[in-house]
Amino acid sequence: MKFNPANNIQDLQQFGEFGDVNPSITDSATYTFMQAKTMSETFKGEAAGCFLYSRHWNPSNKYLADALAAMEGTEAAWVTGSGMAAITCAILQIVNTGDHIVSSCTTYGGTFAFLKNYLLKFKIDVSFVDITNLKEVEAAIRPNTKMIYTETMTNPMLQISDIPTLSAMCKKHDIKLVVDNTFTPMIVSPCSLGADVTVYSLTKFVNGKNDCVAGAICGSNDFINSLCDVNAGTAMLLGPVLEPMRSTNILKNLHTLHIRMKQHSYNAMYLAMKFKEIGLKVIYPGLQEHKGHVTLKKIMNEKYGFGGMIGIDMITAENSNRLMEMMEKEGVGYLAVSLGYFKTLFSNPGKSTSSEVPEEVQREMGMSEGLVRFSVGLDDDIERTFEKILYCLQTLGMMPKKKQVEVVL
């Protein structure tokens, strides 16, 4: 039977202490013990099912973590106060001073800055590579390498990581594979393909409402337990706890994720094909000419499509800004960072979410200064959305030559 993340979530039975169909919300910071001996055992990690202090665990967060572990097919998960907290805690739990990391060059700007700039204070070195060039990736591995870090679908260039091959490489060299799956929840299940750890910004597609900031780390029992160890756990000691009410809301939204991902993917595929038809330079893994199309088809779960992220190249930052401003005015969506929202969001990554990446590195990774990144929303009438975008392109004189198309709004 093929892996089905939606079924794994649906099969969970999580109800409240009074038979509530939704799990109870626990807003306590601390928890009582009937015996002092049990408190001592809990501090040592020897008491199963006990809650100590909400920075360590709380029941509401445990419900969400269990559901995420079911979705990912991992033994356990831990939820954090942000996606960056998940990324940094997972990385710092694996590496130590003097270690080395191999990372995809194309990655979220905040992650790039953490790897490139922040880890220097711990004398942790990072080599940035084209993650799709497997020979380059393996050549970058050193005796002190502890990890390959990548994103399933990289931000913002939408490259596709060959997770099974990267996993085999990691096992060969006895190192860990950590994968950020924020762009592709349900579409790809990295740990089922051999990744050791999967991290998320839950803020994005998983929650889908852009009303909170949260993250998650999914992996083995041993790894998750090490994260929240009271003596040496990065998640426990750095303290990026998620607030229980937010946890509860995300858990409810998780149960509609499979429906939402299908619609995001359907709408994105429609726009990508239309953009291609009118002659725009389009980046979308669902298109057969995309370099990662075959790889994504090989690793993806059935039914969820190719994702809700699209890039189009408007050549210059000035062009992209004019287009985005008019698209917002015409009701296409919002000129805003982030992604996975029910409305379409668009931004120029080089000047926003990837601005931490030096411009020369942006050019090396193939990022145009005129790149517009779309997070395609849940529009019921995506044809109407395309007509609005077409109207903007024509009004601004940005239609590719010999591709003028009549449109009436």
Which residue type, as a one-letter code, is found at position 34?
M
Paired sense of beta strands 215-219 and 334-335, if any: unpaired
71 and 181 share one domain:
yes
250 and 356 share one domain:
no
Q: What are phi and psi of 378, to 5 degrees?
A: -100, 30
pLDDT of residue 184: 98
DSSP β-bridge partners for residue 373: 311, 347
The continuous run of DSSP H or E covering 286 comes out as none
203 and 246 share one domain:
yes
Residue 21 has pLDDT above 90, yes or no: no
137-176 pLDDT, tens digit each = 999 999 999 999 999 999 999 999 999 999 999 999 999 9
DSSP β-bridge partners for residue 335: 346
- pLDDT, greater one: 190 or 352: 190
CATH of the domain at 163: 3.40.640.10
**CA–CA separation, 154 vs 364, rounded Å?**
15
Residue 357 has pLDDT above 80, yes or no: no
Query: Would you say 323 and 372 are in contact if contact means Cβ atoms under 8 Å apart?
Result: yes
Domain assignment of residue 114, yes or no? yes
223 and 296 share one domain:
no
Domain assignment of residue 250, yes or no? yes
250 and 272 share one domain:
no
Domain assignment of residue 404, yes or no? no
Peptide bond between residue 156 and the one before it cis (omega within 30 degrees of 0): yes
**CA–CA separation, 337 vs 348, rounded Å?**
9
17 and 119 share one domain:
yes
230 and 327 share one domain:
no
Range of the domain at 40: 5-254
Paired sense of beta strands 197-201 and 176-180, if any: parallel
Under the banding of pLDDT at 50, 70 and 90, the label for residue 130 is: very high
Q: What are phi and psi of 160, to 5 degrees?
A: -110, 125
Domain end: 209, 238, 254, which one?
254
269 and 226 share one domain:
no
Coil, helix or strand for 313?
strand
Contacts of 116 (CB under 8 A, 6+ apart): 126, 128, 356
Measuring CA to CA, which residue among 165, 114, 169, 168 is closest to residue 138? 169
72 and 22 share one domain:
yes
Query: Would you say 187 and 258 are in contact if contact means Cβ atoms under 8 Å apart?
Result: no
Domain end: 194, 225, 254, which one?
254
43-76 pLDDT, tens digit each = 877 777 788 888 888 999 999 999 999 999 999 9
pLDDT of residue 1: 59
**CA–CA separation, 235 vs 252, rounded Å?**
24
Domain assignment of residue 193, yes or no? yes
Domain assignment of residue 304, yes or no? yes
129 and 266 share one domain:
no
Domain end: 234, 254, 274, which one?
254
- Residue 361 Cα to chain centre, angstroms: 22
Domain assignment of residue 400, yes or no? no
239-262 pLDDT, tens digit each = 999 999 999 999 999 999 999 999
Domain assignment of residue 96, yes or no? yes
**CA–CA separation, 52 vs 54, rounded Å?**
7
271-315 pLDDT, tens digit each = 999 999 999 999 999 999 999 999 999 999 999 999 999 999 999
CATH of the domain at 348: 3.90.1150.10
Query: Would you say 276 and 400 are in contact if contact means Cβ atoms under 8 Å apart?
Result: no
Q: How far is CA 161 from CA 4, 87, 295, in A?
A: 20, 17, 8
315 and 236 share one domain:
no
Structural domains in the chain (count): 2
Residue indicated by tokens 């299908």: 262
249 and 262 share one domain:
no
Domain assignment of residue 25, yes or no? yes
**CA–CA separation, 323 vs 315, rounded Å?**
12
- Residue 106 Cα to chain centre, angstroms: 13
pLDDT of residue 63: 95
Sign of torsion, CA 18 16 243 309? negative
Query: Would you say 326 and 294 are in contact if contact means Cβ atoms under 8 Å apart?
Result: no
Query: Would you say 181 and 198 are in contact if contact means Cβ atoms under 8 Å apart?
Result: yes
Q: Tell me the CB-side half-sphere exposure of residue 222, using CA atoms within 13 A.
A: 2
pLDDT of residue 406: 45
Q: Which ranges of 160-278 does DSSP label H, i.e. alpha helix?
A: 163-173, 221-227, 234-238, 244-254, 257-277
